[in-house]
A and B are shown apart, each in its own frame.
Chain A
């Protein structure tokens, strides 16, 4: 049977013992990973729209405070450090997984989760402090855009934390299998993606805010 290898995107020619295996006989983990990349592309457009909104509205402070007046340098620097570190440890987790080191995989995932929680804690504190001062969502267009953009990222991170916990439990129960490995890989993609988005938030929102 001749199998055409027509294009870049054709079937991965998976072979078992020299015999070609139909994709449909056997669920292919790459399919999930590819699909997840596409989801991330779509999510990126979502963030791009929020960034665009922020860019348009960030000077519309109405009677409220300006960015410079409310951004707390230590706070957002700490958040940035936490999230960047967590992305690094998440990378270490998948690295350990590739080498079959189950113990390290679990350990690094736990460390990642702790940094993620610290990040969320600091962000919640930042939001709470500002709203206590009376600078809420409804104060000005600038603040609406700020809370929504940063908050959407925060919601993504919180969701990522819950998801990672669920997967961690599965790793504890089942060890590294084809399925758990795929799941760890996908959640780590998600985590790195959120890190990249944060880098943009850090520069576009916070750095520009305190300097402008």
Chain B
């Protein structure tokens, strides 16, 4: 067992200006945060209002902030890589650094940016859309968030303590085995993903139960907003896909820590077993992150076209079809394994088939806009930008699915361009659309348009400038994960263009961030609770919604429930006589989810460095937290009617 880790120069990563820069900025930012919190005496507020909250709206906001920060970190990684590739024979990053950066970039973007961003949108919108007062298990929801948070912390810590992982975001053995990869970086990767993965499974279960069991009376499944359907499909995918990743990572960790032979070259191990399991999770994972984006586009397109979504039933059917088929396509990630023509044909066909329901959705969005009164607001811009983008991404996916052709495309820049087109054009565009759309509901003010527009155009145009050249580079033979290339390959111009595009996207991100800061001070207040003339129940509430959401649970009589209520009011149909207010049952805040997840972090950190005492302490604390919860019978309370009345009155409602 390697025990050189006690040596300080190994422990703290040294010898690189980038790392020293990171060290300094981490220390400075931490001191600044502590100073501000102390100066304004905000520690108690932070603990009471945020760290211990079980309110889905606040948890959603925390997920979103974390996702934006991780988008920044992942984005910086991307710009570093693009700078290194801007010219042939660049000497900006060394090979080892390049390896670490593409690994952390990929891992962060998928697991610590896309995942929390979808969880943010789910948390913020789902309970409000279905007329519920919280998710099914609010305490578990807080655990999910903190497990994600501490998983992400553990992962990011690797940059300054011990060294980052460098075997790619897929972490394939045998490269990721201790034979070839001694350092703690891979351990960080495995444990960070494991910890946040537990949180993800819990979120999947939580939202599955919430959507099936907590809908307001009258909201049948076929009256749910499409975002709810999308999240239901995503939850099913999480529940059945994430355990496979858990196993793959655990076995690799056992190989590394206990010297087992699951995926080693010696002792009878089989590395392809890992690769199969990774993608049995990995392909559903790409749909886990993109389906909620589809859901958001459905809401946004319907709202801003002033119409019901076209082809609702076919939208639901295609979501479900995608969810099921996505379990049967994983092998397209390694056609080159050489499983034989039968197997490759099966997976090529299943992959092509999955493009059909995706196409159905695109046509439905277009048909919804057709003849509608389209308002091109900021969220709608992202939706409009998404459609051509995803059409190209889907088409290149189908090209990749042609197994014999994939022997050419595989692991080339063509593949890189494909999945960025689907992940950025699909997921990131979708989450930003959702952020602009629900922002007033979260904070009670709108995001300013001018900055947002600049952000959109720089990001959108920058995207094409960055990635279209990469398709061509792929055709020209440039492979992924190379840190430099010689002159004379004919790749130089296209690479330079691509780098320019990347910086345009970076500028777009800065505009978005600046717009947020500007709007915090000068953003237009949302006094009606319904700034977009929305169709679904969240817009029936004031912005931001009171912490119990609905003083009275609404009764739903049709799809687009809030729209119907508004129409009925216009026609003079009086809302049915309202019930008396009743005390509302709410879960109590708790600090335990935070401490529990912190304990996992401690245990994980111990395992990274083989400091087993720390691991034992961490797990003992985990056990203590679980037991304390089991014996805790004081977990909820009632909000008295008076207080509800007062809160409602403060919003000018009764």
Residues of A within 8 A of B (CB): 1-4, 6-7, 9-11, 20, 22-28, 30-32, 34-35, 38-39, 41-43, 45-46, 49-50, 53, 56-57, 60-62, 137-142, 144-145, 147-148, 162-163, 166-167, 169-170, 179, 183
Alpha-carbon distance between A42 and B201 when the two chains are bound, in angstroms: 8
Would A138 and B267 be within 8 Å (CB), given that A10-B220, A49-B277, A57-B262 are in contact?
yes
Would A42 and B270 be within 8 Å (CB), given that A24-B132, A31-B213, A138-B261 are in contact?
no
Minimum CB distance partner of A30 in chain B: B213
Which B residues from 279 to 307 make CB contacts under 8 A with A? 280
Does any Cβ of A come within 8 Å of B361's Cβ?
Answer: no
Query: Which 5 pairs from chain A and chain B are nearest by CB?
Result: A6-B220, A60-B268, A141-B268, A144-B260, A138-B259
Does any Cβ of A come within 8 Å of B217's Cβ?
Answer: yes
Would A45 and B244 be within 8 Å (CB), given that A10-B215, A179-B633 are in contact?
yes
Which B residues from 220 to 247 make CB contacts under 8 A with A? 220-223, 239-240, 242-244, 246-247
Partner of A46, one of B247, B258, B553: B247
Partner of A45, one of B213, B240, B254: B240
Alpha-carbon distance between A184 and B520 when the two chains are bound, in angstroms: 50
Does any Cβ of A come within 8 Å of B251's Cβ?
Answer: yes
Question: Which of the segments B394-402, B420-428, B527-535, B579-587 contacts the partner chain?
Answer: B579-587
The reply to whether B633 and A9 form a contact with Cβ atoms under 8 Å apart is no
The reply to whether B579 and A31 form a contact with Cβ atoms under 8 Å apart is no
Partner of B270, one of A39, A57, A163: A57
Residues of B within 8 A of A (CB): 132-134, 136-137, 201, 204-206, 208-209, 212-215, 217-223, 239-240, 242-244, 246-248, 250-251, 254-255, 258-262, 264, 266-270, 273, 277, 280, 553, 555-557, 576, 579, 582-585, 623, 627, 630-631, 633, 636
Would A49 and B243 be within 8 Å (CB), given that A3-B217, A11-B217, A25-B582 are in contact?
yes
Alpha-carbon distance between A183 and B133 when the two chains are bound, in angstroms: 24
Q: Which residues of A contact B258 (CB under 8 A)?
A: 137-138
B255 vs chain A, min Cβ distance (A): 8
17 new A-B contacts at CB < 8 Å, known A144-B255, A144-B269:
A1-B217, A1-B579, A3-B555, A24-B553, A30-B213, A31-B213, A46-B243, A46-B244, A49-B243, A57-B262, A57-B268, A60-B269, A60-B270, A144-B251, A144-B262, A144-B267, A169-B631
The reply to whether B205 and A39 form a contact with Cβ atoms under 8 Å apart is yes
Alpha-carbon distance between A129 and B621 when the two chains are bound, in angstroms: 31
Q: Which residues of A contact B555 (CB under 8 A)?
A: 1-3
The reply to whether B259 and A56 form a contact with Cβ atoms under 8 Å apart is no
A189 vs chain B, min Cβ distance (A): 14
The reply to whether A34 and B209 form a contact with Cβ atoms under 8 Å apart is yes
The reply to whether A166 and B631 form a contact with Cβ atoms under 8 Å apart is yes
Alpha-carbon distance between A7 and B224 when the two chains are bound, in angstroms: 12
Alpha-carbon distance between A19 and B421 when the two chains are bound, in angstroms: 53
Q: Which residues of B contact A162 (CB under 8 A)?
A: 623
The reply to whether B244 and A141 form a contact with Cβ atoms under 8 Å apart is no
What are 13 sample pairs from A and B whose C-beta atoms fall under 8 A apart?
A3-B217, A4-B218, A10-B215, A22-B553, A24-B133, A25-B582, A31-B137, A46-B247, A49-B280, A50-B247, A144-B255, A144-B260, A166-B631
Would A7 and B220 be within 8 Å (CB), given that A31-B213, A43-B243, A138-B259 are in contact?
yes
